[in-house]
Amino acid sequence: MLLYLRLLKESFSFAMNALKTNKLRTFLSLLGVTIGIFSIIAVLAAVDSLDRKIKADLNDLDKNTIYLMPFSFGPSEVPRWKREQFPNVTYEEFEYLKRSVNGVDKMAFSFFTRNENIKYESQTVSSVSVTPTTNELELIEGIKIEQGRFFNESESMSGSSVIVLGYEVATGLFENVERAVGKKVRLYGQRFTVIGVSKKQGFTTIGDSRDNSIFIPMNFIRTLYGENSDLITPVIIIKPETGIDMESLKGEITYKLRNFRGVKSSDIDNFFINVLSGFTDLIDNIVGQMNIMGWIIAGFSLLVGGFGIANIMFVSVKERTNLIGIQKSLGAKNKFILFQFLFEAIILSVIGGLIGLFLVWIITIILTNVLDFEFILSYGNMILGTGLAGIIGLISGIIPAISASKLDPVEAIRTGL
């Protein structure tokens, strides 16, 4: 054990000496490892941060939540021309499914529609995401209220001119959200009474942030546009009861909606039952592909870095040929020489890797402070980066180390003179 500790100490000393005496050469050799480790860990940190943020955004939603609409969340075997002929879901279908489908905890009817400008006196907030919906959406999506309340069933059914503002919309109009409730704002050329402000959500990776959204009763939009307007796309959102068999529920929804629409048994479904868990699986697949691409791109940098380490070790062996001969003539065994150069290669590579990790750490701090998004460099990625650098050093240094250990002591001393 003491022998290996001495070997490690001497190898570290030689590595530091190489850094001091041949700064430019060593820097260029380590640059490949530094860039490679930086590339891999930067990609992994970015993807991990994005994955964590997506899962946090979906945390308030039940992964079994169903979105019933004429579009699919993911790839579909149904041809595009046929999908474009699918009818929109209707409010009558919503009411029918709500009273006839078993195993449903909550069901809401909402519209996807274009962004609008909202005004209060001289203040205007532009391009606000409008969500016309029934009152059940509050519980399905876990909308948290900072001030006031969400609209109730009576207001939803009557299409009352009441509105719930997102946090940023409220601060943009009133500066202080506490002043918002009870005020009259202007939207669609009409006045709406503010009855609530949602809690600050921050940046979100799934759709629009609630901070820049407003919620109004769905029946107001039905009265304004009707149900056949190109400006709106209706969706039925279904939250199943806990522990329900999802396949049975999807089968029941399919059966009853097909019957309600009079779809022939020989025809395909003219709607899509999108389950949120399928969307998360799609995201996981995309995240996995991003990781693979990151490894491929960074692999080329690591390859160059490995050649750089091998080059500097061959030069180191040549420069210390005389010293190797003296060590062997004094009784140093081949494995002593082998480990000496191998440790040196690993140490040099790890130094390059640590520099790459340090750069990633600095950039994550800068981006987290500049952007409304938390970049995270996990301990797992740090260990991975350090271990990967060590492996590169091991692979790159093995051939120079073997060639050094096999030198004949007499020839080594004569060559070094």
Q: Read off the pLDDT of residues 70-105 as tens digits, 9 standing for 90 and up.
A: 888 777 788 888 888 888 898 899 999 999 988 888
Give a yes or no: residue 333 inside a domain.
Answer: yes
Check residue 292 and give its pLDDT: 78
Give the distance, in angstroms, between the CA of residue 370 and the centroid of all CA atoms in the same chain. 18
Check residue 133 and give its pLDDT: 92
Q: Report residue 412's pLDDT band, with 50, 70 and 90 as the boundaries.
A: low
Give a yes or no: residue 110 inside a domain.
Answer: yes
Check residue 107 and give its pLDDT: 92
Containing domain of residue 365, as a range?
2-57+282-416
* Same domain (yes/no): 48, 126: no
* Same domain (yes/no): 301, 229: no
Is the pLDDT at 416 greater than 60, yes or no? no
Mean pLDDT, all residues of the chain: 80
Is the pLDDT at 7 greater than 70, yes or no? no
Is the pLDDT at 35 greater than 70, yes or no? yes
Q: Report residue 331's pLDDT band, with 50, 70 and 90 as the boundaries.
A: low
Phi, psi angle pair for 147, to nearest 5°: -135, 145
Give a yes or no: residue 236 inside a domain.
Answer: yes
Beta bridge partners of 68: 236, 273
Check residue 18 and give its pLDDT: 60
Tokens at 271, concatenated: 């709607």
Is the pLDDT at 321 greater than 90, yes or no? no
Among 215, 243, 271, the domain boundary falls at 243
**Residue 62 in contact with residue 104, Cβ under 8 Å?**
no
Give a yes or no: residue 274 inside a domain.
Answer: no
Among 221, 243, 265, the domain boundary falls at 243
Among 191, 224, 243, the domain boundary falls at 243
Q: Report residue 235's pLDDT band, with 50, 70 and 90 as the boundaries.
A: very high
Give a yes or no: residue 373 inside a domain.
Answer: yes
* Same domain (yes/no): 109, 226: yes
* Same domain (yes/no): 110, 201: yes
* Same domain (yes/no): 226, 130: yes
Compute the distance between CA of residue 322 and CA of residue 126 in angstroms, rounded to an integer.
Answer: 76
* Same domain (yes/no): 239, 108: yes
- The total of structural domains in the chain comes to 2
**Most confidently modeled range among 249-253, 376-380, 387-391:** 249-253
Tokens at 18, concatenated: 């190489």
Tokens at 393, concatenated: 């050093």
Whether pTM exceeds 0.75: no
Give a yes or no: residue 261 inside a domain.
Answer: no
* Same domain (yes/no): 120, 12: no
Give a yes or no: residue 291 inside a domain.
Answer: yes
* Same domain (yes/no): 196, 295: no
